[in-house]
Amino acid sequence: MPQRKSSKVSQPRPTKETSAKPIARCGLCGKTKNLTKTECCGNWICDDEHNYQLFSYARNSCNRNHRRYTLCGYHFNEGQGGDWKDCLKCRDSFETEMYVSYGTNEFNFEALPDPPTYEPTKCADCGKVIALGTDGHSVLGDEYRCDHCTAKRMQEGR
């Protein structure tokens, strides 16, 4: 009678995954569903770009907001090396005010340390301070105009 080798090889039992894993959350809004990691900085973020409607200009996509409206996303898209926080190319690519806005707005995981100071931008017509990062405005040469004055000019056909 041939000797039968025991076919039973003792295998180490798969260890059960610990359920104490930290829950991934979108670093911007805190949601825990449908997350993906940002290509630029590897943070968890909502995988919500498909919610974005073309030409709606809605800023309702965490993923898109981070990519389009932060230095981190810009820096990555431009393929510049190193850390966006001390990247001189980024610094040169924007008006100081936009640079600060893109580096410190709510779409950032990490705010720009020591943002440079800048003179507030004022409307050439009414003198109102325009926050370039958030307020609607138009630019003509080196003159900025608030939405209100832009509309007025359009109506007057100037």
Residues near Zn ion, by CB under 5 A: 26, 28-29, 31, 38, 40-41, 46, 62, 72, 75, 80, 87, 89-90, 123, 125-126, 128, 146, 149
User: How many Å apart are CA 133 and CA 136, to the nearest integer?
Assistant: 8
User: How many Å apart are CA 43 and CA 21, to the nearest integer?
Assistant: 16
Minimum distance from residue 88 beta carbon to Zn ion (Å): 8
Minimum distance from residue 116 beta carbon to Zn ion (Å): 15
The nearer residue to Zn ion, 53 or 106, going by C-beta atoms, is 106
Structure tokens at 155: 């109506």
The nearer residue to Zn ion, 38 or 101, going by C-beta atoms, is 38
User: How many Å apart are CA 142 and CA 158, to the nearest integer?
Assistant: 17
The nearer residue to Zn ion, 17 or 142, going by C-beta atoms, is 142
The nearer residue to Zn ion, 4 or 100, going by C-beta atoms, is 100
User: How many Å apart are CA 45 and CA 107, to the nearest integer?
Assistant: 10
The nearer residue to Zn ion, 46 or 132, going by C-beta atoms, is 46
Task: Select from 79, 152, 105 the least CA-distant residue to 87.
Answer: 79
Minimum distance from residue 14 beta carbon to Zn ion (Å): 33
Task: Select from 77, 126, 72 the least CA-distant residue to 103.
Answer: 72
Minimum distance from residue 136 beta carbon to Zn ion (Å): 11
Minimum distance from residue 118 beta carbon to Zn ion (Å): 18
- CB of 125 closer than 8 Å to CB of 158: no
